[in-house]
A and B are shown apart, each in its own frame.
Chain A
Amino acid sequence: MKNRLKILRAERDWTQAQLAAELDVSRQTINAIEKGKFDPSLPLAFKVARLFDLSIEDIFEYPAEP
């Protein structure tokens, strides 16, 4: 699953650690999500969306069926 987390974070000039602190997760988790290695759960995706004041679809993109 693709996402714009890194871009959104950079736009606000936040570090991964700062974002992790806001979301109550580890910095490793933020890094793994940004790199697309780990897909967040729905509650965490909502938390991210609320933090950036966007919808989940604005941040996360599920690849279309072939």
Chain B
Amino acid sequence: MSKTTTDSTQWAASCRTRSLRLLGWSAAWVASMALATFGPRLFWDYATVPTLLGVLINLAIGFAMILANRQYLRGQDELQQKIFLDAAALTLGVGLVCGLGYELLEDIRLIAFEPEISHLVFLMCLTFLAGIVAGHRKYR
């Protein structure tokens, strides 16, 4: 065996680095979303410039998070990519079908409240998580 006899390799180390980078950008995106949401009400009384700045910062960090996610996915091995792709496909399907169905419920007056996008995001997060867990169990 030429390269190494330890479990930790350069590839594994770079995977950890990419994971941590994605974690960092995700945390920054959540923080910027909180600032853009609550900042106008709590800190600067809906002043246009800081509000717009908050939204632009949130968008910029969001795009950085997308790039970090792409980099993370490309650094995974082929089985991990397959598990990710299967979970993403499931999430896309569930999001589309349930999202439109949820909105329809209000249009046809089966629910009295207005559908919230956050409910759909929550459902998609749970679906993706379930897909990842199922994938890892399948190839265990």
Residues of A within 8 A of B (CB): 12, 14, 17-18, 20-22, 24-29, 31-32, 37-38, 40-41, 44
Size of interface on B: residues with Cβ below 8 Å to A: 20
List of A residues within 8 angstroms of B139 by Cβ: 28-29, 31-32, 37-38
Q: What's the nearest-Cβ distance from chain B to residue A31, in Å?
A: 8
List of A residues within 8 angstroms of B5 by Cβ: 18, 21
**The 7 A-B residue pairs with the shortest CB-CB distance in the complex, in nearest-first order:** A25-B77, A24-B11, A29-B79, A21-B9, A32-B139, A17-B7, A29-B77
Q: Which chain B residues in 1-44 approach chain A with CB under 8 Å?
A: 1-9, 11-12
A-B contact pairs, 21 of them (CB 8 A): A14-B1, A18-B5, A18-B7, A20-B9, A21-B4, A21-B7, A21-B8, A21-B11, A22-B2, A24-B11, A25-B11, A25-B79, A26-B80, A27-B7, A28-B80, A28-B136, A28-B140, A29-B77, A31-B139, A37-B139, A38-B82
The main secondary structure of chain B at its interface with chain A is: loop
Instruction: Say whether, besides A28-B136, A37-B138, A22 and B79 are in contact (CB < 8 Å).
Output: no
Q: Say if the beta carbon of B78 comes within 8 Å of chain A.
A: yes
